[in-house]
Structure 1
Amino acid sequence: MAIKERHPERLNTMFHALSDPTRRAMLARLMTGEVNVSQLAEPFQLSQPTISKHLRVLEDAGLIEGGRDAQRRPRRLAPLAMKEIANWIEPFRQQWENRLNNLDSHLAKIKKQRQER
């Protein structure tokens, strides 16, 4: 199975960003919609500089987008980046699904043969 990566460095940066549980939790929180930085930081007992570093990693990876709304600094998911990750993973999912389907078929065949005896 040959996987062609259009932007290997970008993909590396994305997976690095996803490797941290705090950043994954931040992304999960952003699935519900846009929030400001203080709302995003609420569930974590981390300093503001640490939160900012996590956000920078996510932004540099292109996984989130930021903006400015007066004093607020809202963040939101960057859906195209998530699609890029999903597209890269999809061939692996398909391969394992096919293997599991083949195993199911093989086991059903064995079971049928045993019942016929």
Structure 2
Amino acid sequence: MDPVTIATIVLTILATKATEKVGEKIGEGALAEGKKLLGLLQRKSPETVKRLEAATDPNVIDAEVVEEVRRVSVQEPEVKAAVDATAMAVQQQPGGIVNFGKMNIANTGFVQTQNNTFI
């Protein structure tokens, strides 16, 4: 899974206040980095944060939001660094990526098949 998708998952968990359910699974480091990224996005792209907060199910990540985070990270080097730091923190957490295997990527437009193999 690419860093932007991982970071968007953490952002969605934080924005929808679902940390009580999954906080221990993704680790304190990932949550801390995700909070930094969320604050940065609030300043750089408030519409993105509104879309993250509007998620009705933190287990389903909208592919359009992933692309929006990707777009902002390309335009803003500071956001890119925060995305990478968040993804790195998740990947350093034992079992972190395995737990994300239960997350779904939803796409409301053009649908592509996404196969994620987790070990």
User: Do the two structures share a fold, i.e. TM-score over 0.5?
Assistant: no
Structure with the bigger RCO (C-alpha within 8 Å, sep 6+) is 2
Question: Normalized against structure 1, the TM-score is what?
Answer: 0.27
Question: Normalized against structure 2, the TM-score is what?
Answer: 0.27
Larger gyration radius, structure 1 or structure 2: 1
